[in-house]
């Protein structure tokens, strides 16, 4: 499979269930990120993430730490990961709405009372207007305390 799997992979499973042959190459289709369910953290050892403190002496990301992804893709051209990143996610950064990210963070606050947040996007700061909107919404929600709830490097 090449690309994003949320649409193509279930379609493949349905096709195989009908007894159709598996194609040699399956090209994924980029989903609208706001239509995807939040990460099901019961599927992995979320406690390992919550209790993990990223570089505590440097970043001070105190546990409980939660991580999210707010968007996919990157517009830069570092040889470290291009053109793979573009092949996977396309040429532009696609971002969830601020409302969607805040809704996931509310759920994480209610479940885990997180004190630190790491946003794992490859290109978070590429859209300053989104970042400002997010920061305002984040602040209005009073997630964690101002001294401990910090965004990690992305």
Residues 86-125 that bind ligand SF4 (CB under 6 A): 122-123
Residues 15-74 that bind ligand SF4 (CB under 6 A): 74
Nearer to ligand SF4, 4 or 85 (CB): 85
Listed in sequence order, the residues at least 6 apart from 77 whose beta carbon sits closer than 8 Å to its beta carbon are none
Please choose, out of 60-68, 76-84, 102-110, 128-136, the segment that lies near ligand SF4 by the rule CB under 6 A.
76-84
Pairing mode of beta strands 94-95, 71-72: antiparallel
Pairing mode of beta strands 116-119, 65-68: parallel
- Min separation Cβ 61 and ligand SF4, Å: 20
For 138, phi then psi, to 5°, come to -60, -45
- Min separation Cβ 43 and ligand SF4, Å: 25
Among 76, 135, 139, 142, binds ligand SF4 (CB under 6 A): 76
3-state SS, residue 27: strand
What tokens does 149 get? Answer: 């709830």
- Min separation Cβ 86 and ligand SF4, Å: 8
Looking up tokens 């909107």 gives 133
Provide the binding-site residues for ligand SF4, judged by CB under 6 A.
74, 76-78, 80-82, 85, 122-123
């Amino acid at each position: 499979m090449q690309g994003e799997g949320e649409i193509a992979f279930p379609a493949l499973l349905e096709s195989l269930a009908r007894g159709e042959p598996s194609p040699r190459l399956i090209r994924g289709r980029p989903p609208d990120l706001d239509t995807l369910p939040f990460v099901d953290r019961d599927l992995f050892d979320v406690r390992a993430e919550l209790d993990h403190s990223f570089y505590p002496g440097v970043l001070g990301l105190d546990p409980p730490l939660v991580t999210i992804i707010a968007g996919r893709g990157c517009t830069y051209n570092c040889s470290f990961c291009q053109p793979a990143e573009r092949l996977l996610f396309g040429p532009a950064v696609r971002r969830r709405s601020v409302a969607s990210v805040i809704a996931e963070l509310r759920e994480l606050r209610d479940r885990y009372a997180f004190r630190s947040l790491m946003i794992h996007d490859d290109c978070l700061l590429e859209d300053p207007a989104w970042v400002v909107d997010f920061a305002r919404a984040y602040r209005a929600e009073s997630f964690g305390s101002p001294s401990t709830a910090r965004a990690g490097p992305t």
